[in-house]
Amino acid sequence: MAGIYLHIPFCRQACHYCDFHFSTNLKHKEKLIQAMVQEAVLQKDYLQQESIQTIYFGGGTPSLLSRAELDQLLDTLAKNYSLAPDMEITLEANPDDLSPAKLQSLKAAGINRLSIGIQSFQDRHLQFMNRAHTAGQAHSCMQDAREAGFRNISIDLIYAIPSPDHSIWQQDLATALELKPEHISSYCLTIEPQTAFGSWLKKGKLRAIDEEYAAQQFELLLKTLKEAGYEQYEISNFCLPGKYSRHNSSYWQQQQYLGLGPSAHSFNHKSRQFNISNNNLYIKAITGQQPFFELETLSRANRINEYLLTGLRTKWGCNLEYLKKELNYNIEEEQQRLLKELATNNYIRRESGSLVLTDAGKLLADEIVSQLMIMEEA
């Protein structure tokens, strides 16, 4: 079982908090998509004909793709990979791109899951973050997506946006619930150095995010979504029963995947590949048949630490047999004292052969995982 990720590195405008790889210059979009088509063919043996269960168009803003570009990418995958008949095909979209006609076209192209970058339902907050859409578009695109027949929709929401109190965040959560998305991903606003917010922070034009304020909003998020019947199946991801993101869950459960496009990563248990994070250099490398990725061979410690880092953030936790058999790591023996202490403090428990964080443990996930990580072997 495997997945394919396609990174579409273009956006209409740069959000002030974003440090993903994208360009607001769309001049070379066509050339870049052709290079991605070429990469899909070049990499056709990477997953060794494993059955592809999920395809994920991420970015950037994949809703900027034209129908012809989307069809070409999907056709190339169909010709070169073993696609499962019931694949989850997700496309990340921004509300300002989702006209009724666009939504119908996406549905007809085979997209069966949308991940909509709503982030906030408040115009003031959207403008503060330099999002390209309005609160009105955030509402209407959900309704239009339902009318176009989408039955599996995820929305993104950002918390800890500076505000005098929590009332706006509570309103955002209430609005989200009225729209009944099947899935919600919610991340704390972070200020990364290479972003507009990062430069404002440096110049003293913006204050750092208050950790206490962010923690209170996170707790409000957990409580509100739990009461509304959403399951927190990963620290930042919530869904109605059974509506997990199959694609992201497969990352967290260590399944292999191929990443296509600039800055995309690939993983096949033994190594990780990192594609060039520059649109022009990527196009040049692919078309000139030059190397277009860096390869990192994964050590045993890399693999164990990564599994702990991703697995413990999920409701499935880390499987003890997998650690023992695949990674040659008997964590219960080697970390006996620490695990006992974490269990006594009610941060971790053993459940169906896996180590799982409790609700209290989830609030300290980063700290707990860093304690459990192992050192690189000499």
Residues that bind ligand SF4 (CB under 6 A): 11, 14-15, 18, 20, 22, 59-61, 94, 117
Residue with smaller CB distance to ligand SF4, 7 or 247 = 7
Nearest approach, Cβ of residue 157 and ligand SF4 (Å): 13
DSSP string, 302-357: HHHHHHHHHHTTBTT-EEHHHHHHTT---HHHHTHHHHHHHHHTTSEEEETTEEEE
Residue with smaller CB distance to ligand SF4, 50 or 97 = 97
Nearest approach, Cβ of residue 1 and ligand SF4 (Å): 28
Residue with smaller CB distance to ligand SF4, 50 or 92 = 92
- The C-alpha atoms of residue 119 and residue 179 are separated, in whole angstroms, by 14
DSSP symbol at 96: G
Nearest approach, Cβ of residue 336 and ligand SF4 (Å): 43
Residue with smaller CB distance to ligand SF4, 29 or 362 = 29
Nearest approach, Cβ of residue 297 and ligand SF4 (Å): 30
- The C-alpha atoms of residue 257 and residue 131 are separated, in whole angstroms, by 30
Nearest approach, Cβ of residue 11 and ligand SF4 (Å): 3
Nearest approach, Cβ of residue 151 and ligand SF4 (Å): 24
For 26-55, b/e burial (b = at least 16 CB within 10 A) is eebbeebbbbbbbbbeebbebbeebebbbb
Question: The dihedral of CA 71, 74, 76, 82: what is its sign?
Answer: negative
Nearest approach, Cβ of residue 95 and ligand SF4 (Å): 10
Residue with smaller CB distance to ligand SF4, 61 or 232 = 61
DSSP string, 63-83: GGS-HHHHHHHHHHHHHHSEE
Residue with smaller CB distance to ligand SF4, 60 or 259 = 60
Which of 260, 237, 261, 258 is closest to 248 using CA atoms? 237
- Relative to beta strand 271-275, strand 265-267 is antiparallel
Residue with smaller CB distance to ligand SF4, 197 or 257 = 197
Whether 90 contacts 8, CB under 8 Å: no
Token duo for residue 270: 């033994």
Helix count (H) and strand count (E) of the chain? 16, 15
